[in-house]
């Protein structure tokens, strides 16, 4: 009996030793346009979304059937282009699948070229995104809020950095 337990334990150790771990990032740019003649107190709200397909990453596609886990290591939202500095209120960024949702709310953010928002795991959002990625289905990233000026265009790049563990066996 002890011999059988040692063999099973050794097989698991050998199997785990064959794990492949790689880092990858899932990115999407949200191009947001607040037209001229609007303001937050009138109609300056915006909402934009885009989809990300985890299977679009060649390594995820290669190991898709053998992925053991996704582990989010960082999530950021960065203003990569903007035509003028603004303040955004009720700024919400979300990542969602058909069955799960993780979101972050920033009550007020001053936004300039290069502004970077760290999307923390304070409420377990990363755990939810690990599960969303584990489904390997297309998911949605979105942003909404209200600007204090009109005629504003900016691009918000959402980056989800992950460590993936797969086993080719």
19-49 tens-digit pLDDT: 999 999 999 999 999 988 755 455 578 999 9
* Residue 84 phi, psi dihedral angles, 5° rounding: -165, 155
Name the pTM for this structure. 0.87
49-79 tens-digit pLDDT: 999 999 999 999 999 999 999 999 999 999 9
> Which domains, and CATH codes, for the chain?
20-166 (2.60.120)
Question: Using the 8-state DSSP alphabet, how is residue 130 labeled?
Answer: H
103-123 tens-digit pLDDT: 999 999 999 999 999 999 999
C-alpha–C-alpha distance, residues 5 and 13, integer Å: 12
C-alpha–C-alpha distance, residues 136 and 155, integer Å: 26
């Amino acid at each position: 009996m002890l011999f059988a337990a040692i063999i099973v334990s050794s097989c698991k150790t050998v199997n785990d030793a064959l794990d492949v771990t790689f880092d990858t990032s899932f990115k999407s740019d949200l191009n947001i346009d607040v037209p001229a003649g609007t303001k937050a107190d009138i109609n300056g709200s915006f909402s934009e979304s885009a989809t990300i397909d985890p299977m679009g990453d060649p390594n995820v596609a290669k190991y898709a059937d053998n992925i053991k886990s996704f582990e989010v290591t960082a999530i950021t939202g960065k203003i990569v282009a903007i035509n003028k500095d603004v303040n955004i209120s009720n700024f919400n960024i979300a990542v969602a699948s058909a069955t799960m949702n993780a979101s972050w709310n920033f009550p007020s953010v001053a936004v300039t070229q290069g502004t970077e928002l760290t999307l923390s795991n304070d409420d377990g959002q990363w755990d939810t995104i690990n599960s969303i990625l584990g489904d390997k289905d297309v998911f949605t990233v979105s942003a909404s809020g209200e600007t204090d000026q009109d005629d504003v265009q900016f691009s918000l790049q959402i980056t989800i950095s992950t460590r993936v563990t797969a086993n080719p066996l």
